[in-house]
Chain A
Amino acid sequence: MPETLVQIEQKAPRGDWRDPHVEFRKGSICYSAAAKNLGALSLPNPRAWQPMDADWKLPPDWKRIVLDGMKERLKKYRSFRLFMDICVRCGACADKCHFYLGSADPKNMPVVRAELMRSIYRRYFTLTGRLFGSLAGGRELTEDVIKEWFYYFYQCTECRRCSVFCPYGIDTAEITMMGRELLNLIGCNTNWVLEPAANCFRTGNHLGIQPHGFKDSIDFAAEEASEITGLDIEVPINRKGAEVLFVMPSADYFGTPHYYTLLGYLMLFREIGLDYTVSAYASEGGNFGLFSSHEMMKRLNAKIYDEARRLRVKWILGGECGHMWRVLHQYMDTMNGPADFLEVPVSPITGTVFENARSTRAVHICEFTADLIHHGTLKLDPRRNDHWIATYHDSCNPARAMGLLEEPRTILKSVCRNFHEMPENTIREQTFCCGSGAGLGTDENLEMRLRGGFPRANAVKYVKEKHGVNLLTCICAIDKATLPTLLEYWVPGVEVAGVHELLGNALVMTGEKERVADLRGELFAPEAHSVGSASEASHA
């Protein structure tokens, strides 16, 4: 027998975390950005390369570029400097990262991931580090460190679960964001982030759908919603003078199961007679700039507000999107705000003033709908969702970045009779990420996504076994795109849906034809068949 066959390693290699060497293995990394996409966005160092290559073809003065970039950002962002300085290594964040929990890789402890950058900060930007180097916790900036940054900063979904537990409030996602910004300066970026950003820059949405394609998709959805309800449903596009500009993630009009959520929105808007328009230019709620640099995020975010100004709307209503809300809620105001050319949003149906959106003038569809339900303005028949036993995944950004915890639950509990929460330490502020956000949701990275998504799936499995849950609801387009794969692997038999899909099922519209099937075309449970009758429907 060849000797190699019996020489099987029993233990994982024990290494020092300061050793930057990482192994890039297909299946657990994202591929590099195509040169054409860097060119489209005027980003530096476009070239053909892959993370598995030995030579990354960095610019000759890459080290100076990175250190200058770090210096500039330390000066520009007080938070960055603070986060580099104040960590006391208490370890509260250590076991909170879904990638750490799923992969058991110590460098995925948020504190260690941040330390990958802090060690460079110490070495080059602190007196003790400059004098004593590694004795003061510093590391030399080498090409291997750049590769290590690439590996780990593109292995963080910027979900901010760790930040919830940090006693100092260190937003570890911002350290990842800084890491990616610095990598971008020398052309180390991933295609799954830059292609959507380039598309968005060019056509207004991640998928690169041009205006006529956008119109076709929206018209198709409007037709289908009309067929389902027997009502005439039209969707205004680029209509000047509408009260509300509705912006959704592009996946809503081109992905499944997102599309059923879109049908839900359209039916809701028709029923309440909302004076709104969608836009072929602001045809993307998502903002992949968030995953590359502040400048890119600002450029893409500006499109929504430019369009709101051009169309002379009063305020913006946003769809079920995740990171759109991190950008709008936490960065928009200082990037492109204040949006004082718009009005403070007021629900035209209930008169509710959305004080929380006084600055950004953008309201989340769940806030809007929960308010409608709270005021009893919708006729709902939750029996139409009796074929679903639902649970709710708090999508990271709406939950942690804007505190949207109760509104989706208010909707779900009004439109669905079978609803069960997952365990307390896996939902709300402590929600586990899908493992595919922040530009990691590509097929070539599937193994890493399955690791990162394991803690979430584990909680779904629990409610499936305990309550028979067969539907995971959420309010993020990336969740809807990636959770089906995750669940197929870890918890087969559980499907994924948006909250407004279930609303669309339950919504009893004035003058609608008798409905026998849900928005997916699946027949309602037998006792829910006569649901067209207003007397049987409940006012929420």
Chain B
Amino acid sequence: MSVSGAVSEIVAERWVERTLAAYPAEILPFLSGEHDRFRNPVGQVIQESLTTLARELLGAMDNRATAPAIDALVRMRAVQDFSPSAALRFIFDLRPVIAEVCGEVTPQLESRIDELALMAFDRYLACREQIASLREKELRVRALSPAR
């Protein structure tokens, strides 16, 4: 494994830990310890998305990999019981994690983190807008039903 690969693994591991810490303590052992993606979809989405994002952040920063990873994670957090700031906080957790692992956050990484944050904002808003439009669609169907 390359040096950057090893570093990205450590970054991902600590990043996952920090992100999971936002969930209630009672569920943490399950979220971090159950590796079946169907038994533990929330834990697996966090694990897979953050691993991809850490790899891309320290690597090629390929949009074809980062966009689906951001979408999967933000889509999930957009419907969980988080305020918008708490839902997207995981992006900003990257700074202390990288500083801890690499010693410093270089200007290039700073700018990449900003880029991820902006992508996450876009996805979050898109998800919330989609929820509103799905709700509206269901309401329309309901309004057409004969009883209501």
Contacts and interface: CB of A to CB of B under 8 A. Distances in A.
A209 B21 CA distance: 51
7 contacts: A14-B25, A102-B41, A207-B145, A255-B141, A450-B79, A488-B130, A489-B134
A206 B145 CA distance: 11
B146 A207 contact: yes
Contact of A446 (B24, B34, B134, B145): B134
Interface of A: 8-12, 14, 17, 25, 27-28, 94-95, 100-106, 109, 195, 199, 206-209, 213, 254-255, 423, 425-426, 443-444, 446-447, 450-451, 454-455, 458-459, 462, 485, 488-490
B147 interface: yes
Contact of B135 (A11, A109, A195, A446): A446
A11 B21 contact: yes
A218 B47 CA distance: 51
Among B27, B89, B131, max chain A CB count under 10 A is at: B27
A103 B80 contact: yes
Contacts of A28: 81
Contact of A489 (B23, B130, B139): B130
B146 A95 contact: no
Given A208-B146, A443-B139, A450-B131, A459 B38 contact: yes
Contacts of B135: 443-444, 446
A247 to B, nearest CB: 19
Interface string B20-61: 011111110011001011111110000000000000000000
B27 A106 contact: yes
A116 B39 CA distance: 25
B142 to A, nearest CB: 7
A95 B23 contact: no
Contact of B75 (A94, A101, A455, A490): A490
B86 interface: yes
Contacts of A104: 23-24, 27, 31, 42, 80
Interface in B58-92: 75-76, 79-81, 85-86, 89
Given A28-B81, A426-B38, A446-B135, 12 more contacts: A8-B85, A11-B22, A17-B26, A95-B40, A101-B39, A206-B147, A425-B38, A443-B138, A447-B79, A450-B131, A458-B37, A459-B38
Contacts of B30: 94-95
A10 B40 contact: no
Contacts, number: 104
List the 10 closest A-B pairs by CB distance, nearest first. Answer: A208-B147, A106-B26, A443-B138, A458-B41, A450-B79, A207-B147, A443-B135, A104-B23, A447-B79, A104-B27
Contacts of B24: 12, 14, 104-106
Nearest to B26: A106
Contacts of B127: 489
A255 B142 CA distance: 10
Contact of B42 (A9, A11, A102): A102
Contacts of A209: 146-147
Nearest to A445: B135
Contacts of A488: 130, 134
Contacts of B141: 255
Nearest to A423: B38
Contact of B41 (A101, A446, A447, A489): A101
A240 B80 CA distance: 53
A52 to B, nearest CB: 15
B41 A454 contact: yes
A451 B80 contact: yes
B: interface residue count bin: 35 or more
Nearest to A454: B41
A426 to B, nearest CB: 5
Contacts of A14: 24-25
Contact of A254 (B26, B80, B138, B145): B145
A197 to B, nearest CB: 12
A451 B38 contact: no
A208 B145 CA distance: 9
Interface centre among A12, A25, A199, A209 (most CB of B within 10 A): A12
A308 to B, nearest CB: 25
A103 B26 contact: no
Contacts of B36: 425
B38 A458 contact: yes
Interface in B121-148: 127, 130-131, 134-135, 137-139, 141-142, 145-148
A8 B84 CA distance: 11
Nearest to B36: A425
Interface centre among B34, B81, B147 (most CB of A within 10 A): B147
A311 B141 CA distance: 34
B89 A8 contact: yes
Nearest to A100: B27
A254 B146 contact: yes
A425 B40 CA distance: 11
B86 A9 contact: yes
A27 B34 CA distance: 29
Contacts of A10: 21-22, 89
Contact of A95 (B34, B85, B142, B145): B34
B2 to A, nearest CB: 28
A459 B40 CA distance: 11
A117 B64 CA distance: 49
A259 to B, nearest CB: 12
A472 B24 CA distance: 33
Contacts of A17: 26
Nearest to B136: A443
A425 B39 contact: yes
A482 B141 CA distance: 12
A103 B148 CA distance: 31
Q: Which of A11, A195, A423, A451 has its CB near the most chain B CB atoms (within 10 A)?
A: A11
B146 A485 contact: no
A446 B21 CA distance: 26
A447 B80 CA distance: 8
Interface in B90-142: 127, 130-131, 134-135, 137-139, 141-142
Contacts of A213: 146
